[in-house]
Amino acid sequence: MSLRSLVSCGLLAAGALLVDPVLATEYNQIDAGASRIAFTYSEMGVNLDGGFARFSARLVFDPAKPEAARVAVDVQMASVDAGSPEATAEAAGAAWFDAAHFPVSHFESTSLKALGPGRYQLDGNLAIKGRTRPISVPLGFQAQGARGLLSGTFQINRNDFGVGAGEWADPSIVAPAVTVRVSFVLTAAR
C-alpha cells in the first residue's frame, strides 16, 4: 500500500471517529408527559402565560437527515389553561377557541431544513378553528443519550385564525400577536 493510500485511509478512519453517533439516531416518539406547548399573550398591556395540557404528536426526525423529517401535532383545545379559571373558561368558549365546535388544532409539517449545528427551520400548516395558515418555526435540538430535546419559539397572529371575536377582537384589549413555545422530549427508535 502506498503512503498516499495509507494517509487517505487514516483520514477516513479519523473522520469516522469524529462523527457524532447521535447524528445517526432517528427519533420517532414524543414523551407528551414531559413535553410542553405554552403561549404568552398580552391583555391590556399585561403579559399572561398559558398552555395546553393534552396533545399528541407523531414524528420521524433524524438530525443527520432533516429533509426526511415528518411532524404532526394534534392539540386538544379544551385542555387550554389561560392562566386563571375565568380566562381558561373564556378561552375554551366560542369567542376564542370554540372547543365545542373545533375540539382539535392540527399542525402538519411540510419541510425541515438545517440552519446550522443543532438549529432547524420547521415549515408547515397550522389549523385552528377551521382556518389553516402556513407557519415557520425555528427549532433547536439537543441530544441527551437516547432522548433529545426539540424546542422553539414562534409567533402567530390570533386574528388569522378567528381567535378572539366580538369585544376581544379589539387589539387594545388583547394584542393580536401570540408567542408560542414548544418543548418536545423525543425518544429514539429502538
pLDDT in tens, 90-115: 999 999 999 999 999 999 999 999 99
pLDDT, position 24: 59
pLDDT, position 189: 76
What's 123's DSSP letter?
A: E
pTM: 0.84
Fold of 21-188: Lipocalin (2.40.128)
What's 170's DSSP letter?
A: -
pLDDT, position 149: 96
Residue 85 CB neighbours (<10 A): 9
Mean pLDDT of 7-14: 39
Secondary structure in 3-state letters for 139-158: EEEEEECCEEEEEEEEEEEH
| Cell of residue 56, nine digits | 399528541
Rounded to an integer, what distance in angstroms lies between the CA atom of residue 99 and that of residue 153?
Answer: 24
Asked if pLDDT for residue 123 goes beyond 90, the answer is yes
Rounded to an integer, what distance in angstroms lies between the CA atom of residue 61 and that of residue 23?
Answer: 10
pLDDT, position 145: 81
pLDDT, position 54: 97
pLDDT, position 25: 87
What's 61's DSSP letter?
A: B
Residue 61 CB neighbours (<10 A): 27
Asked if pLDDT for residue 65 goes beyond 50, the answer is yes
